[in-house]
């Protein structure tokens, strides 16, 4: 596209973001400040993720963008088209064909490989933000690895509700050192982060932070020995493909209480249905 640099951002900005990414990879789970730029979409729509994607994207890459697991929602479609126009890269909806996947609130069901990069859109990078409002104090707590406060929150949940009540953005310890917000993915997806072969990058545009999990890094969800972390999903099979191992969305189908549970990962669901159809023929 004329008048724009490859991938919209200018090269100096990309270098600055790549430096932040390198630092982030060197210290897994640690939040690195960066000079977040104004992007042609509003805060909360993925300004952090889109800047990280722009900085790691090369002409030979194939890009996939998902929003809540789906390839066909507004946010996913517009970011995919944005890079198709400003970088001219190939785009896809198939997880296994993509080399860079930008995601909002989900990790694809299909296992990712070493040659793939997963870019998360992060609204609030600070896992302690709801417990400790002062940014200066949370920085101190991270520096001293003083995470008793988060554990107290889990204790309170169990004491009052009998179980941990966090269902998304469930805090994790990365590499046994830093407490990290996994972005608002469902707790169901947390175990996928542990030891993932793909590089995981997190961009928070409004909060101006980048962090990362290098491939094959230890990622543990916080829990108690006698109340271990459990990944929960709706107790149904997908209404379209019949999967019993995927994360499900509940869809209201009529105004008489009709409900349908379907895979939130549209690519996973479609490829399962294709395989089933081929097998039937």
Partner 1 sequence: MSQGTLLSARRVSLAFGTIHALREVELDLWPGEVLAIVGESGSGKTTLLNLVSGRLRPDAGAVWYRDPDGALHDVHAMPDPALRRLHRSDWGFVDQNPRENLRMGVTAGGNVGERLMAQGARHYGSIREAAIDWLEQVEIDPDRIDDFPRTFSGGMLQRLQIARTLVTHPRLVFMDEPTGGLDVSVQARLLDLIRTLVARLDIAVMLVTHDVAVARLLAHRIVVMQGGRVVETGLTDQVLDDPQHAYTQLLVSSVLHA
Would you name the residues annotated as active-site residues?
29, 238, 241, 263, 269
Which of 60, 133, 136, 159 contacts partner 1 by CB under 8 A?
159
Q: How far is the CB of 145 from partner 1 (least distance, A)?
A: 8
Residue 151 engages partner 1 in binding (rule: CB under 8 A): yes
Residue 148 engages partner 1 in binding (rule: CB under 8 A): yes
Residue 155 engages partner 1 in binding (rule: CB under 8 A): yes
Question: Residues with Cβ < 8 Å from 193, sequence gap 6 or more?
Answer: 107, 172, 182, 200, 213, 219
Residue 3 engages partner 1 in binding (rule: CB under 8 A): no
Q: How far is the CB of 158 from partner 1 (least distance, A)?
A: 6
Q: Closer to partner 1 by CB, 143 or 279: give it.
A: 143
Q: Closer to partner 1 by CB, 161 or 278: give it.
A: 161
Positions 213 through 242 that interact with partner 1 (CB under 8 A): 223-227
Q: Closer to partner 1 by CB, 60 or 226: give it.
A: 226
Residues found near partner 1 in the complex (CB under 8 A): 143-149, 151-152, 155-156, 158-160, 223-227
């Amino acid at each position: 596209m004329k008048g724009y640099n490859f991938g919209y951002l200018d090269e100096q900005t990309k270098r600055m973001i790549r430096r932040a990414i390198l630092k982030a990879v060197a210290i897994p789970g640690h939040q690195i400040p960066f000079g977040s730029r104004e992007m042609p979409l509003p805060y909360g729509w993925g300004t952090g993720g889109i800047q990280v994607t722009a900085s790691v994207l090369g002409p030979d890459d194939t890009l996939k963008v998902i929003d809540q697991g789906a390839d066909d929602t507004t946010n996913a479609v517009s970011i995919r088209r944005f890079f198709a126009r400003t970088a001219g890269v190939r785009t896809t909806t198939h997880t296994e064909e993509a080399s860079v996947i930008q995601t909002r609130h989900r990790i694809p069901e299909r296992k990712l490989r070493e040659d793939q990069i997963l870019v998360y859109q992060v609204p609030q990078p600070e896992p302690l933000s709801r417990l400790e409002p002062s940014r200066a104090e949370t920085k101190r707590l991270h520096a001293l690895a003083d995470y008793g406060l988060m554990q107290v929150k889990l204790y309170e949940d169990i004491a009052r509700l009998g179980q941990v009540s966090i269902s998304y953005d469930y805090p994790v310890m990365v590499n046994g050192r830093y407490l990290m917000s996994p972005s608002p993915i469902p707790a169901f997806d947390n175990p996928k982060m542990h030891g993932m072969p793909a590089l995981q990058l997190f961009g928070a545009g409004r909060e101006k932070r980048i962090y990362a999990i290098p491939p094959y890094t230890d990622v543990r969800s916080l829990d108690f020995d006698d109340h271990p972390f459990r990944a929960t999903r709706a107790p149904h099979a997908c209404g379209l493909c019949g999967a019993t191992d995927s994360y499900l969305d509940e869809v209201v189908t009529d105004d008489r209480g009709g409900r349908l549970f379907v895979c939130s990962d549209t690519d996973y669901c479609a490829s399962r249905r294709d395989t089933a159809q081929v097998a039937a023929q």
